[in-house]
Amino acid sequence: MDWLLGPQGISWDMGTVHALGRVRTALFPRPSALRRRSDRIETAVLRFAVVLVLLVLPCTFVLGQRGAEDAREAAAVTRSTAHPVDAVVLEAPTATSPAVGYTGGLSDVDVAWVDPDLARHVAAVPAAPSLEPGDHLQLWVGADDRPVIPPASATDATVEGVVDGVGALVGAILVLGSVVLAVRLTLDRGRMRAWDADWWALVHRRDRGTTG
């Protein structure tokens, strides 16, 4: 609790209270005869967007769970159709730039492995360019003796589900935020036109009163 007592803690706490107050005022403004029709429309659109976000929350949770389950099922299929092998790097990669289609600085590396029946296989796989000849890699090999994408671990599957869920939620918030912003800009233009018209009418009445 000490952080609440320091100047920075107090500043952060007051800032949070102020922000929450502004959100509450935007969603539940005080009744006032000065509120215009455009103000009521803006409040209604903002409330509708908040309700939609609350409705999307459980959907993103289900989507994240489904994404994690799909990753686990794909990993189970890989484990049932492929098996791990201990491969040895034959020669260090000579590429000075990442191979086409690879990310994170991966390059093609020639590796070899031996099956239990003593059959020797050679393949080029994406790997870190820092590997040296004689280094060992664990590969997953399919039924056709070709390397396949390793199955995702339980942690990787969970992370994939979280990314799917959070990505869907962020996407929904961005879309709804864009709609709210577009509505507000449109209403602001209308309010500015109304203000200009009222100002012109006021000036016109004043000029008429001065000139008779």
Q: Which amino acid is at 172?
A: A
Tens of pLDDT, residue by residue over 89-139, are: 988 766 544 444 445 556 788 889 888 878 888 888 887 777 888 888 888
- What percentage of the chain has pLDDT greater than the value 90? 25
pLDDT tops 50 at residue 43:
yes
Of 104, 114, 153, nearest to 136 by C-alpha is 114
Residue 186 has a pLDDT of 87
Average pLDDT of the residues in 54-70? 93
- What is the arrangement of strands in the sheet containing 83-91, beginning at the earlier edge strand? 120-127, 107-114, 83-91, 136-141, 147-148
pLDDT tops 90 at residue 67:
yes
Distances (CA, A) of 123 to 45, 88, 129, 141: 59, 11, 16, 10
Residue 197 has a pLDDT of 75
Residue 70 has a pLDDT of 94
Distances (CA, A) of 152 to 65, 104, 123, 161: 15, 18, 22, 12
Tens of pLDDT, residue by residue over 179-202, are: 989 988 888 888 788 787 778 877
Average pLDDT of the residues in 16-32? 66
pLDDT band at 17 (very low <50, low <70, confident <90, very high): low
Residue 72 has a pLDDT of 94
Tens of pLDDT, residue by residue over 154-167, are: 999 999 999 999 99
Residue 151 or residue 2, greater confidence: 151
Return the SS3 of 107: strand
Tens of pLDDT, residue by residue over 104-113, are: 556 788 889 8
Average pLDDT of the residues in 61-81? 93
Rounded to the nearest 10°, the torsion over CA 71, 77, 78, 79 is 110
pLDDT tops 80 at residue 3:
no
Q: Are 112 and 88 in contact (CB under 8 A)?
A: yes
Residue 4 has a pLDDT of 46
Residue 124 has a pLDDT of 83
User: How far out from the chain centre does Cα 52 lie?
Assistant: 18
pLDDT tops 90 at residue 41:
no
pLDDT tops 50 at residue 58:
yes
> Which token pair is 62?
């289900």
* pTM attached to this predicted model: 0.63
